[in-house]
Amino acid sequence: MKILFVASEVHPILKVGGIADVVGSLTKEIKKSGHDVRVAMPFYQPLKDKKIKPLNKVASLQIEFNKTSENINIFETFIPGTEKQTDVPVYLFENNRYLSNKSVYLDTKSFLYLKRFLFFSQAVLRAFPALNWKPDIIHCHDWQAGLIPLLLKIKQKQSTIPACPAGRNNQQSTIKTLFTIHNLLIQGRWNYTQVLKCLNLKGNEIPSLSEKMQGSYGDDFNVLQQAILNSDLINVVSPGYANEIKTDSYYARGLENVIQKRKKDLIGILNGIDTDFFNPETDQFIKRIYSIKRLDLKNFNKLDLQKKVNLKQDVEIPLFSMISRLDIQKGIDLVSQAVDEIVKMGGQIVFLGTGQKEYETILEKASKKHPGRVAACIKFDQALAQQIYAGADIFLMPSRFEPCGLSQLIAMRYGTIPVVRSTGGLRDTVENVKINKKLFGLIKQIQGTGFVFNDFSLPEFISTIKRTLEFYQNKRNWKQLQIRVMKQDFSWSKSAQKYLELYKKLMDTNN
Ligand code: GLC
């Protein structure tokens, strides 16, 4: 099969969020099964500054957009692997007005933020003759690629109008689309009339275009809504999140009507992680590599981390961590309210991430209030992230909602125990810890992989932290739990199979 991934970011070429990890690692896994997988993404300014290699210009084309003719150059590079470069080609689309003049994500108050990806989607669909390659399936990720299914449907419809000569005009009609939603919250919305004008559409081309008034998402053109209505198949990144968005309007974010319409074609597939990259046995960024057999070496990483972020160096102090966008989706409000309590209970805590200014300030203040106990690293730093996964004891992720979540999986790979709220992918990947007693309490067996709570409330969160700390006091139990957690398989192999099944299903349907 020939599959084109279309996404706004791809790790390690360029990463802002989890979508980059998924595209970067899933493509490699699909490629292993012998399929022709390629990726398309914009050639942003910061990417050009990085001077990536190799970089070959492979095509040029012109498209009509917003009533002007625009030039596009396509460059080819490859996804770099852990040891050597992979053979997954990445097409970087260069255009000075829309794609290559600025950073990755733009101010959502400017139409350019949306226009950039409307332009990109049109460019991708026009590029196949110039590339001399046409996919069987386009696998679109999030709203940034969400216009593609709509544009393809319109083309398909136009090419079946009887007045059109059969054959060559049908070129695009056989391409199938899979749309993966990483986060339903971010939808890509803008004034309907302006969007249609930009795309040179009238609004009567296909039924979904006139559905703008349905549901509670207002009058805007909503790219995600159009993607859900027009893709051949849809998936979200965990079965738990699929269930939530189908049954609870809080999670459906105003799109409940469209989700209900497509619910038979929408499933959840759990994300995996790149287990070669995230591997405590080989990680280049950490002080001492370690494994299940040499778990004692994890302590060197703890001491090193404590030193690096100015926490008191002491292996006995339970070290909490959080690596996250500082956003209320991630429950940063809850954690910042719990900081004093965590310190009072004898813990330390290290934060890494950027986000809402308000929370950056709160965390910085907390680190000044509790020197040696609280560290606030307000930045994005891949090396420090790995050092935290390796050095911390406990990883906090009390999200309000979580389509999948990758950090809890990475933490577990490094034997760092997650504390999570039971939602979406967190519910699917972390099982609450219990001790099973057998033979009148003589044999104790640990079950579960982390500490889980249900209600998004401070008392529940704090009592879960207490429970975690009580468990931490028993060194033998804690070690057993770490070993259990490190043995979990979060590689892509199972989930990539599920994607392959979806691709096959798409290839088998003729319409
Ligand atoms: C988004 C979601 C996160 C998910 C990631 C990759 O960032 O918020 O839950 O793990 O995408 O799919």
* pTM of the entire predicted model: 0.93
Domain shared by 177 and 69, yes or no? yes
Check if the beta carbon of residue 189 is closer than 8 Å to that of residue 149.
Answer: no
Distance 249 CA to ligand 1 centre (A): 19
Ramachandran region, residue 27 (left: φ > 0; alpha: ψ -120 to 50; beta: rest): alpha
In terms of residues, how long is the chain? 511
Q: Atom 1 (ligand 1): residue with closest C-alpha?
A: 182
Please tell me whether residues 379 and 262 are part of one structural domain. Answer: no
Instruction: Identify whether the C-beta of residue 27 lies closer than 8 Å to the C-beta of residue 88.
Output: yes
Contacts of 341 (CB under 8 A, 6+ apart): 462, 465
pLDDT tens, position by position, 427-456: 999 999 998 887 777 778 899 999 999 999
Per-residue pLDDT, 170: 45
Q: Write the residue with the smallest CA distance to atom 5 of ligand 1.
A: 18
Residue 105 pLDDT grade (very low, low, confident, very high; cuts 50, 70, 90): confident
Share of the chain above pLDDT 70, in %: 94
Q: How far is CA 84 from the centre of its chain?
A: 24
Does some domain include residue 207? no
Residues having CB closer than 6 A to ligand 1 are 17-19, 22, 182-183, 237, 271, 402-406, 425
Residue 511 is predicted with a pLDDT of 57
Output the CA 163–ligand 1 centroid distance in Å: 45
CB 278 within 8 A of CB 497: no
Domain assignment present for residue 205? The answer is no
Strands ordered across the beta sheet of 451-453 = 374-377, 348-352, 319-323, 394-397, 417-421, 451-453
Q: Whose CA is nearest to atom 7 of ligand 1?
A: 18
Mean pLDDT, all residues of the chain: 93
Is the per-residue pLDDT at 23 higher than 60? yes
Q: What span, in angstroms and rounded, lies between the C-alpha atoms of 424 and 428?
A: 7
Q: Which domain, by its residues, includes 99? A: 2-188+222-272+493-508
Full DSSP string of 194-231: HHHHHHT--S-SSGGGGGGGSTTS-SSEEHHHHHHHH-
Q: How far is the CA of 409 from the centre of ligand 1 (A)?
A: 12
Q: Is residue 40 part of a domain?
A: yes
31 CA from centroid of ligand 1 (Å)? 22
Q: What is the pLDDT of residue 439?
A: 75
Tokens of 326: 């500082």
Give the pLDDT confidence score for residue 166 in this predicted structure.
45
| Residue 407 lies inside a defined structural domain of this protein | yes
Identify whether 314 is part of a domain.
yes
Long-range contacts of 277-282, Cβ-Cβ distance < 8 Å, separation of 24 or more: 277/25, 277/82, 278/386, 278/389, 278/410, 278/413, 278/414, 279/413, 280/390, 280/413, 280/414, 280/415, 280/486
Q: Which ligand 1 atom sits nearest the alpha carbon of residue 21?
A: 6
- pLDDT of 162: 53
pLDDT confidence bin for 103, thresholds 50/70/90: confident
Same domain, 306 and 385: yes
277-286 in b/e burial notation, b at 16+ Cβ within 10 A?
bbbbeebeeb
pLDDT (average), residues 389-404 = 98
Task: Give the distance (Å) from ligand 1 centre to CA of residue 179.
Answer: 14
Reading the block at residue 444, the tokens are 């104790």
Query: Are 408 and 497 in a shared domain?
Result: no
Same domain, residue pair 316 and 391: yes
Which atom belonging to ligand 1 lies closest to the Cα atom of 17?
Answer: 7
Instruction: Report the separation in Å between the CA atom of 258 and the middle of ligand 1, taken as the mean of its atom positions.
Output: 21
Are residue 226 and residue 308 in the same domain, yes or no? no
CA-based nearest residue to 272, from 12, 490, 6? 490
pLDDT tens by residue, 197-211: 999 999 999 999 886
Q: Are residues 23 and 159 in the same domain?
A: yes
- Report the nearest-CA residue for atom 10 of ligand 1: 405
SS3 string of 355-396? ECHHHHHHHHHHHHHCCECEEEECCCCHHHHHHHHHHCCEEE
Same domain, 380 and 259: no
Tens of pLDDT, residue by residue over 161-176, are 554 444 444 444 489 9
Q: Output the pLDDT for position 82.
A: 65
Which pair of structure tokens corresponds to residue 256? 């409940």
In a domain, 464, yes or no: yes
Q: Do 34 and 168 lie in a common domain?
A: yes
Relative to beta strand 89-94, strand 68-78 is antiparallel
What mean pLDDT comes out for the span 114-131? 96
Whether 249 and 351 map to the same domain: the answer is no
Residue 204 lies in a domain: no
Specify the number of domains making up the chain: 2
Pairing of strands 56-65, 68-78: antiparallel
On whether both 181 and 233 belong to a single domain, the answer is yes
Three-state DSSP at 402 gives coil
Arithmetic mean of pLDDT, 65-74:
95
- Predicted confidence at residue 212, as pLDDT, reads 57
pLDDT at 287: 97
Lowest model confidence (mean pLDDT) among 34-43, 121-130, 156-165? 156-165
Report CA(238)–ligand 1 centroid distance (Å): 10
Closest Cα to atom 12 of ligand 1: 182
**Mean local confidence (pLDDT), 61-68:** 93
Number of helices (H), then strands (E), in the chain: 19, 19
Q: Name which residue leads in pLDDT, 229 or 83.
A: 229
Name the residue of 5, 27, 186, 237 whose CB sits within 8 Å of the most ligand 1 atoms, as the mutation to test its pocket.
237
| Mean pLDDT, residues 260-273 | 97
User: How far is ligand 1, taken at its centre, from the CA of residue 18, in Å?
Assistant: 5
Which CATH number covers residue 396? 3.40.50.2000
Q: Give the residue-averaged pLDDT of 129-146.
A: 97
Average pLDDT score over residue span 220-229: 94
Q: Residue 172: its pLDDT value, please?
A: 44
Q: Give the per-residue pLDDT at 210.
A: 81
Indicate the top mutation candidate among 11, 16, 19, 179 to test ligand 1's pocket, ranked by most ligand atoms within 8 A of CB.
19
**Counting atoms of ligand 1 from 1, which one is nearest the CA of 237?**
12
Pair (16, 47) in one structural domain = yes
Decide which of 136 and 17 is more confident. Answer: 136
**Residue 4: is its pLDDT beyond 60?**
yes
* Res. 160 pLDDT band, cuts 50 70 90: low
The answer to whether residue 193 sits within a structural domain is no
134 alpha carbon – ligand 1 mean position (Å): 29
